[in-house]
């Protein structure tokens, strides 16, 4: 079923709520306060179905005091249905709603002239022409216009037929699930319910969604579309979700639900601002950012000003979870400042001029050059995992673009782009290891463990290049210096590890610490310890705790001596006597339990009496 979200707009008392009531019988004013005042104060939602088409209607407040609620809904509109009373014509909120919708990225408008039975046809035509001129001036595309009257039921039938017969536009779809919450409440028998618009991706019942602000995953119990339970939700649908594992009061309007590991939030985002005519942007000014159904208090830091727009940074008090080219609206106490697009939703460490150059590249969609700049900025790896949030690109497209970046190394598996200079830096780090220890035995994995910012494939590339230059040799799965004097690698590793364990006595270090101290590959080190354990030279007491057999025997004899003196041993007694940490003490006391003449009573061990 094709779905379209139609947002109503217009001045207060021009008939938005009455129009919905006439189309499908739904009364949008649901709260007692709205009914008492006869005034829509917040968003309300309803729908109409016809054959394979579904239209979601979003009623918004027309009063200027409630414009913030209008802004919470406008970013989800596919099309704007502007309502103007023929007996009043264009009013303040008619213009404001049009301007805000345009700033929010809505491109298409349907005009409905209401109360036409209260004026002459010529008068209605004049009003209609004025509105059409205004719509064209702002930059909208007209879908159609229609006139209705309260005492002309057939006019509403014509409007409804036009809505379903017209080819209504849809916003571009997104591949990942993303959903702004516009309402959150609790319902008896259900628990937490949220409502919103699916901006991208699909969702099924029982699936997990992520709430970035709370750093929390939650399961979807049920999905409602209209008044029905549905098994799944598709892009462009208004849906209600019944969530488990989260309280309704912990959620708020503006929170995002999304695919896990998709969106990251930042306190700084880079933007392009287009101010309204006659508005002057001020550096370091305070404003309110409206994006989706979210609001953020921000400081506007202007980087550069151009003929019709400015490049700026928003510094927020709360994390902004934004998308590349996502539309926003900026307001302050005096009203709307303007709108714009997110150019870079991910904070990067750049100086002012560098940031300006980068953002101009992004603004002009010169993404190959932007990739190159980011690669040089992130010398320890520019990750492409976030390519969709950052550039609206899927991983395949991002990898293809990255392949064309000059002087780079691309790790396809990890989706990380490195500048060639980073390879040279890592080469020097690797050379220094062999300079300090000519008996170092490394692999791509051990190099990665030492330099975690370098991917395994990058480490392999570095080792390959050093080998090709005859600086290293590759033997038995390990890289070693050409100056290395080891003849039997296996025996050398056994001798080295056993000697260290002998030296460290009853408080041996964890194996990975020992490996790093002698520049030994972890996998080969683990295999060596297994061989030492198999032949009985080393005993494994616990995870990451290995001791030489002679020292273990000495330790057990020492503990038996303590039992002879004190009648028992436990953690506190042995800690006082040896100064060992609990990790060692627990392992040694538990090892005592293997002996038949040792009795365990709670936390104490005794020698059994004959």
Residue with tokens 């009531």: 21
Cα separation, 290 vs 342, in Å, equals 12
Buried b (16+ CB within 10 A) or exposed e, 115-129: bbeebeeeebeebbe
Lowest mean pLDDT among 87-101, 284-298, 328-342, 490-504: 87-101
Question: Which of the residue ranges 163-172, 290-299, 596-605 has the most confident prediction, judged by mean pLDDT?
Answer: 290-299
Q: How confident is the model at residue 162 (pLDDT cuts 50, 70, 90)?
A: very high
Using pLDDT thresholds of 50, 70 and 90, give the confidence band for residue 43. Answer: low
Q: Is the dihedral of CA 522, 524, 525, 526 positive or negative?
A: positive
The DSSP 8-state label assigned to residue 176 in this structure reads: S
Per-residue pLDDT tens digits for 341-359: 999 999 888 999 999 999 9
12 C-beta neighbours (distance < 10 Å), count: 16
CA-based nearest residue to 127, from 11, 283, 291: 11
Strands (E), 161-292: 178-187, 191-200, 203-204, 208-211, 216-225, 228-230, 232-233, 238-244, 256-258, 266-275, 285-291
If you ran DSSP here, which 8-state letter would residue 261 be given?
Answer: T
According to the model, what pLDDT value does residue 61 have?
67
**Alpha carbons 32 and 37: distance in angstroms, whole number:** 9
Which token pair is 159?
Answer: 């409007």
Categorize the per-residue pLDDT at 92 as very low, low, confident or very high, splitting at 50, 70 and 90. confident
Which region among 141-145, 165-169, 240-244, 436-440 has the lowest average model confidence (pLDDT)?
A: 165-169
Three-state SS at 59:
strand
| H helix count then E strand count, the chain | 19, 30
Q: Which two tokens stand for residue 37?
A: 């005042």
The CA distance from 493 to 477, in Å, is 14
Nearest to 159 by CA among 55, 13, 73: 55
550 in Cβ contact with 504 (< 8 Å): no
What domains does the chain contain, in order, with CATH numbers? Answer: 2-165 (3.40.50.300), 178-258 (2.40.30.10), 266-355 (2.40.30.10), 356-406 (no CATH), 421-481 (1.10.10), 489-607 (1.10.10)
Backbone angles phi, psi at 30, to 5 degrees: -100, -30
pLDDT tens-place string over residues 424-449: 999 999 999 999 888 888 889 889 98
Whole-angstrom distance, CA of residue 86 vs CA of residue 10 = 12
Chain centroid offset of residue 159 CA = 41
* Edge-first strand listing for the sheet containing 416-419: 382-383, 416-419, 408-411
Tokens of 157: 């039938």
Instruction: Judge whether 134 and 87 are in contact, CB under 8 Å.
Output: no
> Does the pLDDT of residue 576 top 50, yes or no?
yes
Give per-residue burial for 228-262: e unless 16+ CB within 10 Å, then b. Answer: eeeeebbbbbbbbbbbeebebeebebbbbbbbeeb
Q: Do residues 349 and 377 lie in contact, with contact meaning Cβ atoms separated by under 8 Å? A: yes
| Ranges 118-132, 325-339, 596-610: which has the least confidence | 596-610
The CA distances from residue 200 to 118, 197, 235, 372, in Å, are: 43, 9, 5, 29
What are the beta bridge partners of residue 150?
A: none
Alpha-carbon distance of 310 to 30, in angstroms, equals: 42
- pLDDT (0 to 100) of residue 65: 57
Helix 522-534 to helix 489-504 angle (10° resolution) is 80
**Angle at alpha carbon of residue 166, lines to 161 and 172, rounded to 5°:** 135
Rounded to an integer, what distance in angstroms lies between the CA atom of residue 136 and that of residue 476? 74
The DSSP call for residue 532 is H
**pLDDT tens digits for 236-294?**
788 899 999 999 999 999 999 999 888 999 999 999 999 998 899 999 999 999 999 89
Q: What is the CA radius of gyration of the chain?
A: 34
pLDDT reported for residue 358? 95
More confident residue, 496 or 38: 496
In terms of Cα–Cα distance, which of 7, 29, 67 is closest to 295? 67
Per-residue burial over 523-535, b = 16 or more CB atoms within 10 Å of its CB, e = otherwise: ebbeebbeebeee
Q: Which helix (H) or strand (E) holds 255?
A: none
**Backbone phi and psi for residue 182, each to the nearest 5 degrees, phi listed first:** -110, -15
Q: Per residue, what are the HEC states of 276-331?
A: CCCCCCCCCEEEEEEECCEEEEEEEEEEEECCCCEEEEEEEEEEECCCCCCEEEEE
Please check the confidence at residue 553 and state whether its pLDDT lies above 50. yes
Per-residue H/E/C for 373-415: HHHHHCCCCEECCCHHHHHCCCHHHHHHHHHCCCCEEEECCCC
Mean pLDDT, rounded, for 328-343: 93
């Amino acid at each position: 079923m094709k779905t379209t979200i139609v947002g109503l707009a217009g001045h207060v008392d021009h008939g938005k709520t009455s129009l919905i009531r006439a189309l499908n019988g739904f009364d949008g004013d649901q709260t007692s306060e709205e009914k008492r005042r006869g005034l829509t104060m917040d968003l309300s939602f309803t729908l109409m179905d016809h054959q394979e088409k579904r239209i979601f209607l979003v009623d918004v407040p027309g009063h200027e005091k409630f414009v913030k609620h209008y802004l919470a809904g406008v970013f989800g509109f596919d099309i704007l249905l502007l309502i103007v009373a023929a007996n009043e014509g264009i009013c303040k909120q008619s213009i404001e709603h049009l301007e805000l919708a345009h700033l929010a990225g809505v491109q298409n408008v349907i005009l409905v002239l209401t109360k036409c039975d209260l004026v002459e046809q010529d008068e209605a035509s004049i009003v209609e022409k004025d509105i059409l001129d205004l719509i064209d001036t702002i930059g909208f595309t007209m879908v159609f216009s229609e006139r209705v009257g309260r005492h002309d039921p057939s006019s509403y039938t014509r409007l409804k037929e036009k809505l379903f017969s017209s080819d209504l536009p849809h916003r571009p779809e997104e591949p990942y699930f993303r959903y702004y919450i516009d309402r959150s409440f609790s319902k008896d028998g259900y628990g937490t319910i949220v409502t919103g618009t699916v901006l991208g991706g699909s969702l099924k019942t029982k699936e997990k969604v992520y709430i970035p602000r709370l750093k929390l995953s939650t399961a979807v119990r049920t999905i409602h579309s209209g008044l029905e339970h549905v098994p799944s939700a598709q892009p462009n649908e208004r849906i209600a979700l019944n969530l488990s594992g989260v309280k309704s009061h912990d959620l708020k309007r503006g929170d995002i639900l999304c695919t896990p590991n998709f969106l990251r939030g930042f306190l700084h985002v880079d933007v392009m601002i287009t101010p309204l005519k006659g508005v002057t942007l001020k550096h370091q000014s305070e404003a309110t950012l409206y994006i989706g159904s979210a609001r953020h208090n921000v400081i506007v830091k202007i980087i550069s000003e151009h003929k019709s727009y400015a490049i700026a940074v928003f510094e927020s008090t709360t994390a902004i979870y934004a998308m590349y080219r996502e539309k926003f609206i900026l307001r302050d106490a005096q009203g709307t400042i303007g709108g714009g697009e997110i150019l870079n939703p991910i904070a990067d460490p750049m100086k002012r001029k560098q940031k300006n150059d980068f953002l101009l590249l992004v603004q002009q969609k010169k993404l190959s050059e932007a990739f190159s700049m980011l690669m040089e900025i992130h010398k320890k790896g520019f990750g492409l995992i976030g390519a969709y949030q950052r550039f609206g690109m899927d991983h395949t497209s991002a990898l293809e673009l990255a392949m064309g970046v000059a002087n780079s190394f691309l790790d396809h598996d990890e989706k990380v782009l490195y500048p060639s200079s980073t390879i040279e830096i890592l080469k020097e780090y690797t050379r220094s290891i062999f300079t300090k220890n000519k008996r170092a035995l490394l692999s791509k994995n051990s190099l990665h463990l030492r330099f975690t910012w370098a991917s395994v494939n990058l480490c392999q590339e570095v080792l390959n290049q050093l080998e090709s230059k005859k600086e290293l040799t590759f033997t038995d799965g390990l890289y070693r210096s050409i100056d290395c004097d080891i003849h039997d690698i296996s025996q050398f590793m056994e001798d080295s590890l056993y000697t260290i364990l002998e030296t460290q006595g009853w408080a041996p270090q964890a194996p990975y610490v020992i490996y790093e101290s002698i520049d030994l590959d972890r996998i080969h080190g683990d295999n060596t310890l297994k061989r030492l354990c198999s032949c009985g030279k080393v005993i494994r007491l616990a995870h990451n705790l290995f001791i030489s057999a002679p020292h273990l025997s000495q330790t057990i004899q020492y503990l038996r001596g303590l039992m002879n003196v004190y009648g028992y041993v436990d953690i506190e007694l042995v800690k006082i006597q040896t100064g060992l940490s609990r990790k060692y003490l627990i392992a040694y006391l538990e090892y005592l339990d293997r002996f038949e003449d040792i009795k365990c009573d709670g936390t104490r061990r005794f020698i059994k009496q004959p």
